[in-house]
Structure 1
């Protein structure tokens, strides 16, 4: 049982790390002096001067940004609730609330 709990904790932490990296990473698409990510578009001119502008205000991009942030929030809540339920539930109790928040986090990040 201890090994199962350790595996669940590792899973929660791995999901959080992957979500943070995917949200914060600075270059998703790179090519020909141009780099694009979730938050800004950067281009390099001939004098190695880099100009960065915020990403376009398209509705789809704003929805992607919002779902990535919501996914991180739900994952953090899921990990916190897991620890709370771990120490407060009776032996054999079910982790329904933690599972619901983890499902919300995964569905927001587009993994389901």
Structure 2
């Protein structure tokens, strides 16, 4: 049982790191001279690196909010898991933790879908970056983690 709890905890920490990286790193869309993320659009020209704030359009603000909410809900889920680990009665399930983890996965999915649909048309040589891919990797891992919390029972 200790190994299962340790495995779930490590999975949860990996998901949290993936979400933090995908939310903060400047690599949602990349090309040879332009990188964009949820917060900044950066251009490399003449040996310099010039960044300006991302557009004020509603869709990018929705993606920003959803990704920040996913990080917060994943963090809260981790806190609730640790609290329930010590206070939950024997045989109880981690439902509260599971709900927060599944909500975090839904926020990531919605944010990535909105970014995919609403991002400006990609020109030749412009493609999605690794932060975008990490968000999509974090989604199923977060969902599976939430389902594991539903199935998991506390034992002595």
Aligned structure 1 segments of 4 or more residues deviating by more than 3 angstroms: none
Structure-1-length-normalised TM-score:
0.91
Q: How many residue pairs are counted as aligned between the two chains?
A: 111
Q: Tell me the equivalent position of 1:12.
A: 12
Note the residue ranges of structure 1 that are not aligned, 5 or more in a row: none
- CA-CA distance at 1:100 after TM superposition: 0.6
Q: Over residues 18-44 of structure 1, what are the superposed CA-to-partner deviations in whole Å (9 max), with x where a residue is unaligned?
A: 000101112232224212111111112
Give the TM-score, by structure 2 length. 0.67
RMSD (CA atoms): 1.3
Greater share of helix residues, 1 or 2? Answer: 2
Q: What's the counterpart of residue 37 of structure 2? A: 37
Change beyond 3 A, Cα 1:32–1:6: closer
Mind listing any 5+ residue stretches in structure 2 that lack a counterpart?
110-138, 144-156
